[in-house]
Amino acid sequence: MKKVSVIGDGNVKPTSEIYRAAFEVGKIIGSRGIVLICGGLFGVMEAACKGAKEGGGITVGILPHYEDTSNSFVDIKVQTGMGHGRNVIVAASGDPVVAVGGNYGTLSEIAFALKLGKRVIGFRTWEVEGIENYEEMVDFISAVDRAL
């Protein structure tokens, strides 16, 4: 079964273009029957899971804590208790890895993904050698669509 990891800023608002991009990517992933893997929390993770569910897909949240707390669109919750250490699992679990915006947690996941030889497709994310980074949402969505 194909899996794609979606990573990004956990604090973006639903009105932002970053949130909308994550939602659209999630919807494409879900509609193709691909499992969406993420950190299971909010912001980009919530948007991607929400889109995947709307597309009819399955979502997996690799949670940083032992509690059952996640966004309401996560189907399978993996409670790691690893904090940011779970970023390795998120990055390793999908191919490709899709980065939407992001802060330092996203940067660590990008680094792990690239170290593991994963393809990383980004939208307004970190400028790191090896990432296919897009500034326009239409180009980003098209690139993800082709990669799947």
Residue ranges covered by each domain of the chain: 3-142
Rounded Cα gap, residues 131 and 25, in angstroms: 17
- Residue 43's alpha-carbon distances to 5, 9, 54, 117, in angstroms, are 15, 6, 17, 26
Q: Is 64 exposed, middle or buried (0-12, 13-18, 19+ CB in 10 A)?
A: buried
Task: Please give the pLDDT value at position 67.
Answer: 92
Task: Please give the pLDDT value at position 68.
Answer: 87
Tell me what the mean pLDDT of segment 103-125 comes to. Answer: 98
Cis peptide before 14 (omega within 30 of 0): no
Q: Judge whether residue 97 has pLDDT over 90.
A: yes
pLDDT band at 7 (very low <50, low <70, confident <90, very high): very high
Which fold would CATH assign to domain 3-142? Rossmann fold (3.40.50)
Q: Report the percentage of the chain scoring pLDDT > 90.
A: 99
Q: What is the pLDDT of residues 45-89, one digit of tens each?
A: 999 999 999 999 999 999 999 998 999 999 999 999 999 999 999
